Amino acid sequence: DTAVSQTPKYLVTQMGNDKSIKCEQNLGHDTMYWYKQDSKKFLKIMFSYNNKELIINETVPNRFSPKSPDKAHLNLHINSLELGDSAVYFCASSQSVSSYEQYFGPGTRLTVT
């Protein structure tokens, strides 16, 4: 009965590689988000999609490319990984773009070596 799920939970990879993180929500929500939480625990929004359309792109390097095949899924693809990409990435969803409550996934800990 997991509401927002992410895979994988852990991802260890080398610099220069390309990797993807997947997110799925079964809440019937229209809006999904990607957040990055760095080693100092700062939570910062990266992207937001509403009904498969990009509505927020917070000046993230274009090595990061989100894709939403349908409104229940929002994936994050990262090209040419760098050491500074190491962080925990959280997916979240909300009922609509103007809804207040956001529900977070369990996070994906990405380590770039």
> Rule CB under 8 A: which residues touch another protein?
33, 40-45, 48, 50, 55-56, 58, 90, 97-98, 100-107
Nearer to another protein, 18 or 54 (CB): 54
Please state the closest distance from residue 18 (CB atom) to another protein, in A.
26
Nearer to another protein, 5 or 13 (CB): 5
| Residue closest to 35 by CA, chosen among 101, 102, 89 | 89
CA–CA distance, 17 with 52 (Å, rounded to integer)? 26
Strands 43-50 and 53-57: antiparallel
